[in-house]
Amino acid sequence: MIRGAIEVATPTLVSGWIYCKAVGLRDQLVLAFVGTRCVGTGKVEIYRKDLHEAKLGDGYCGFHFPIALQGGEQPASVVVRLQESDVSLMQPNSRVVA
């Protein structure tokens, strides 16, 4: 099972964490999307003491990278996906609609 969260999303950056007990995600690429448009990419490479203390691997589960939203796009609509995976992190209070 993969766990994670988007903790901050602004018009210029996104940050959070992602963890998988079965396989290490350190140095894996994560991509930020608004709809189908990729607005930025970064790596899972930031050490998080809180996650390490929570026994989530070695604590290198964090990400923080710049994004570029276009006019009218809202930070609340940013979704983060693990590259070459179907895994997506949505923000709290997000909902999937048709």
- pTM for the full model? 0.90
CB 17 within 8 A of CB 8: no
Q: Tens digits of per-residue pLDDT, 6-50?
A: 999 999 999 999 999 999 999 999 999 999 999 999 999 999 999
Please report which confidence band the pLDDT of residue 1 belongs to, taking 50, 70 and 90 as the band edges.
confident
The contacts of residue 31 (CB under 8 Å, 6+ apart) are 38, 40, 41, 80, 81, 83
What stretches of the chain adopt beta strand conformation (E)? 2-9, 13-20, 29-34, 37-43, 46-47, 60-66, 79-82, 88-89
CATH C-level class of 2-89: mainly beta
